[in-house]
A = this chain, B = another copy of it.
Amino acid sequence: MTALDTLLLWLDIAGIAVFAASGALVASRKQMDAVGFILIAAVTAFGGGTLRDVLLGRVPPFWLRDPAWLAVASSVAVLVFFTAHRVESRFRALLWADAVGLALFAVLGAEIALLAGAKPWAAVLLGVATATFGGAARDVICNEIPLLLRKEIYALAALAGAAVFVALRVNGVWRDPALLAGMAVAFGIRAIAILRGWSLPAYKPRPGRDYPN
């Protein structure tokens, strides 16, 4: 294994770990038990990659090919179970863990799609899907308002990161600088959005009323 592959492996592990942490933090908000922590951590960490793998025809998906991924996600979930009460604001911790995962998976998902032969534009879309699906599933199952739907820039950060990575790769830049540049762009945009409340102009006129009956 070369130094480059080692970097990629560690980025992958980091992505699984931070998304697992974000899932476990939502589980703590819902006062679930340790099994629930592991389950929601796994759904969040594996959801996006599973969608990507199924859409690319790569089955069984990655977490069924190597037990290490489950070990990482459940260790993180158990760790959060025992330590979350020490976190000053679990909601902010959740936001940041999710932001790191979003940046890593947008780029890593696009990379895997490119390697599987997807066209550049399709690789960008699969990167966005990899980055956003796990968190959306976490929020829908736990009945939270999906981060996707909140006001601050979210999906756009994943899109920008994946697009930068793919554009660099297609134009001959080496993998590692391209990976790091894409992740930096995605995380940077999302981080500023969280810190400054940056948002895109939203549709304003009037909210929808409840469904008539």
Using CB atoms and an 8 Å cutoff, list the residues of chain A in contact with chain B.
26-37, 39, 50, 54-57, 59-61, 63-65, 67, 70, 81, 84-85, 90-91, 118-119, 121-122, 125-126, 136, 140-146, 148-151, 153, 155-156, 159, 199-205, 207-209, 211-213
Contact = CB atoms under 8 A, between A and B. Distances in A.
Contact of A141 (B30, B54, B146): B146
B149 A91 contact: no
A96 to B, nearest CB: 14
Contacts of A125: 63-64, 70
A64 B118 contact: yes
Contacts of A37: 203
A37 B204 CA distance: 13
Count chain B CB atoms within 10 A of each CB in A30, A85, A149 and give the residue with the most.
A149
A195 to B, nearest CB: 14
Contacts of A34: 200-201
B159 A35 contact: yes
Given A29-B207, A91-B211, A208-B90, A35 B141 contact: no
Given A56-B60, A145-B143, A211-B145, A205 B29 contact: no
Contacts of A54: 54-55, 59
Contacts of A59: 54-57
A12 B14 CA distance: 40
A186 to B, nearest CB: 14
B55 A155 contact: no
Given A32-B202, A37-B203, A54-B54, A141 B145 contact: no
Contacts of A32: 149, 202-203
A54 B54 CA distance: 8
A205 B30 contact: no
Nearest to A38: B155
Contacts of A199: 33
